[in-house]
């Protein structure tokens, strides 16, 4: 039935079309337009923009299809979001497991890197201090300043050698970590983990 036919029927039965006969109102899809939105403007019922010859039953069917499509879209998006969250959580657990699998090697690498930085800083400090002392002595004695690179002391040479050994050990530990990651990945592929 069209909007015009519904209004005519309402006049014949001496009823209010919006309150008693409108299928949108009876199905709960329309509140009759008597309410205001959050900003104070009245909410117009869907039929306000329809022509008199609009088939209300067909229009209601379109509204239901659109509402169903929207619900399906929201449902798909929610499922996709849940799958993404589950996938991210699983990846996070695997990363944490991998970190613990090579924890000892990672700790030893960090310790060696700190030691190397400390040794380098010690060497730089000693060289700077030695250069400052040479400069001061040269100024006091009134002789020219020697700009040549200062020679390393035995202690500094020992630190340099220690750094080289630490760098070699770091490379070994990186290879061990790499091998452990490969073994862990193989176990996961086989389903043992």
Residue 82's pLDDT is what? 96
**Same domain for 129 and 66:** no
**Same domain for 73 and 110:** no
Is the residue at 98 inside a domain?
no
Residue 116's pLDDT is what? 93
Residue 37's pLDDT is what? 59
Longest dimension (CA), the chain: 124
| pLDDT tens digit at each of 193 positions of the chain | 665 666 666 656 565 556 555 666 656 666 555 565 566 665 666 666 666 666 777 777 777 788 889 999 999 999 999 999 999 999 898 888 888 888 899 899 999 999 999 999 998 898 888 888 877 877 888 777 666 666 778 888 899 999 999 999 999 999 999 998 888 888 888 876 5
**Would you say 54 and 6 are in contact if contact means Cβ atoms under 8 Å apart?**
no
**Same domain for 110 and 184:** yes
d(CA 45, CA 30): 6
- For residue 35, the enclosing domain spans 3-85
Residue 73's pLDDT is what? 94
- List, in sequence order, every residue forming a beta bridge with 36; answer none if it has no partner: 42
**Same domain for 122 and 81:** no
Domains held by the chain: number: 2
Residue 87's pLDDT is what? 94
Q: What is the pTM of this model?
A: 0.48
Is the residue at 93 inside a domain?
no
**Same domain for 15 and 56:** yes
Residue 147's pLDDT is what? 64
**Same domain for 42 and 8:** yes
């Amino acid at each position: 039935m069209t909007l015009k036919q519904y209004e005519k029927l309402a006049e014949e039965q001496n009823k209010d079309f919006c309150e008693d006969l409108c299928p949108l109102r009876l199905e709960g899809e329309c509140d009759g337009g008597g309410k205001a939105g959050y900003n104070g403007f009245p909410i117009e019922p869907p039929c306000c923009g329809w022509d008199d010859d609009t088939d209300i039953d067909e229009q209601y069917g379109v509204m239901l299809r659109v509402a169903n499509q929207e619900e399906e879209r929201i449902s798909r998006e929610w499922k996709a979001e849940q799958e993404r969250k589950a996938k991210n959580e699983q990846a996070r657990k695997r990363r944490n497991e991998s970190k613990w699998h090579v924890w000892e090697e990672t700790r030893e690498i960090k310790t060696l890197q700190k030691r190397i930085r400390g040794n380098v800083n010690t060497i730089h400090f000693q060289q700077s201090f030695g250069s400052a002392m040479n400069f001061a002595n040269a100024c006091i004695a009134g002789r020219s300043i020697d700009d040549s690179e200062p020679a390393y002391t035995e202690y500094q040479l020992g630190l340099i050698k220690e750094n080289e050994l630490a760098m070699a050990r770091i490379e070994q530990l990186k290879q061990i970590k790499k091998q452990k990651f490969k073994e862990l990945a193989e176990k996961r592929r086989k389903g043992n983990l």
